[in-house]
Structure 1
């Protein structure tokens, strides 16, 4: 092995470690945002929280839009229709998840949301024309079995409210598919901006009917924090995917269940049932296998 090859390998190893650390940080921040949303949703309407999440998230991404070629150049797009679809579906996902945090335990929502990568793989066939072999279809089937284990009677999640995180996961998977297409020509900051703008305007339509002025500075900070923290988490996750391949960093999204259980127990005394743990294990295992399979195919290619 030459010196140059050794140096390249060391750089790749450092980038992989950095990407993993950024992903773990991003997931931790996202769970913090979810916990804030759950806390505030106990006393405020979900639409109001979506407004704060979207509006103050824009403040975080704005410096990245102004950097380099400037705001006007980055907002010029020939794919406004697809931006609209991505923003609309993303807003529905945001509403579904925030409402789910109001009705269900934090860790239970996170566990059910892990079905999203499996749905994204399945949707890539009809929407993107990608090929999915029988091994990955089997993994997707096992993942759906895991969801059935979690929501079965006696499984701890057997209620109509379990449909909320599943709807959020489905729409989030649609978001992932549209982002795959948009990212071929659009910058990440541009995609995030159009989503934040649409989501903020949509939430504004509800505000005259649901607005409740935050009771004190703590609630103001909590609702503003939902937006700022969500924006920071998006940037951290973007950095993670920039530093290392998707197949390296994506499995660490599953650390969310650790943070979710810890925060849920510390603040609400919530613990998932055995059925939820078992079903979550099936979903996570299926997702990890699909990531492994995609990495193997990429190496062969």
Structure 2
């Protein structure tokens, strides 16, 4: 099988661009959650995502996936739905910089899950990195407590950590899914699953109101999600994961800037120190772990 030519500099730039686009999307989603609520924005965004992914996938008239592959699609769709709901609900209550810093623990959780379910060995560096990252989370939570930001921020932070746990499960599932299907198929069936799950909630919560004044922002968030995912796919096909992984942490800079400019959210020293510990822990753990990059996907 022919390998894609390696272009590390261009790939690094593309990955940085993907992080920037997805960080701006997070800010848009935060504004939408505050304005119309997580339920309404999630349903209408899911509808938009399905239209976009269907327009890319269906014209190709590809064979229908096998029953086993469909099970993987559905399982990951469920995880992605919970992950996105927790994350976007959380960022509606937590400053963006703190929220993004907390999500950085996902790769370390993935290492633990890989050890439990894939029987992969956890080295000393991974253990040390996990302790450092956990200390970073505690520092951020301590900063929240000292600032007396309110109970909603603490609950929102727990939702963000729960989302990071789901994302770690998502990483493990991606390893299986990427062997069974191509990116367009994965995105299309994930969109169907996510929308179906949100529609299942309609009998309990009712049909959401049409977001007339916010529809263009919902479309913008969906387009950014698709664009960011495609940029990441292009980048990871052209450079090693260990080379590109550092670009993920630029999201903290974007979150800090966007949170301050748009939502007037100050960035405390506790958040900066906690983020440094989490990023440092991930770096220590990654030095002792070399794997093929999983297919990147962003909801």
> Which category of TM-score, normalised to the shorter sequence, fits these structures?
0.7 to 0.9
Q: Which runs of 5+ in 1 are unaligned?
A: 1-11
Instruction: Tell me the residue number matched to 1:6.
Output: none
Cα deviation digits, residues 73-125 of structure 1 (max 9, x gap): 26445322222211101100000011011111111111111111111111110
Aligned 8 A contact 1:55 1:227 in 2: no
1:57, distance to aligned residue in structure 2 (A): 2.4
Aligned 8 A contact 2:78 2:193 in 1: yes
Structure-2 separation of matches of 1:273 and 1:114: 17
Aligned 1:29-68 pairs, distance under 5 A:
29-62=21-54, 64-66=56-58
2:186 counterpart of 1:175: no
Structure-2 separation of matches of 1:41 and 1:214: 12
Instruction: Tell me the residue number matched to 2:116.
Output: 126
Aligned 8 A contact 2:125 2:284 in 1: no
TM-score when normalising by structure 1: 0.86
2:233 counterpart of 1:241: no
The alpha-carbon distance between structure 1 residues 233 and 254, as it changes in their structure 2 partners (threshold 3 A), is: same
Alignment partner of 2:216: what SS? helix
The alpha-carbon distance between structure 1 residues 204 and 248, as it changes in their structure 2 partners (threshold 3 A), is: same
The alpha-carbon distance between structure 1 residues 193 and 215, as it changes in their structure 2 partners (threshold 3 A), is: closer
1:130, distance to aligned residue in structure 2 (A): 1.3
1:220, distance to aligned residue in structure 2 (A): 1.1
Cα deviation digits, residues 242-289 of structure 1 (max 9, x gap): 111111111111100011111111111112211111111000111122
Alignment partner of 1:163: what SS? helix
The alpha-carbon distance between structure 1 residues 255 and 91, as it changes in their structure 2 partners (threshold 3 A), is: same
Q: Which runs of 5+ in 2 are unaligned?
A: 294-299
Alignment partner of 1:164: what SS? helix
TM-score when normalising by structure 2: 0.87
2:196 counterpart of 1:201: yes
Alignment partner of 1:94: what SS? helix
Aligned 8 A contact 2:12 2:235 in 1: yes
Aligned positions, number? 284
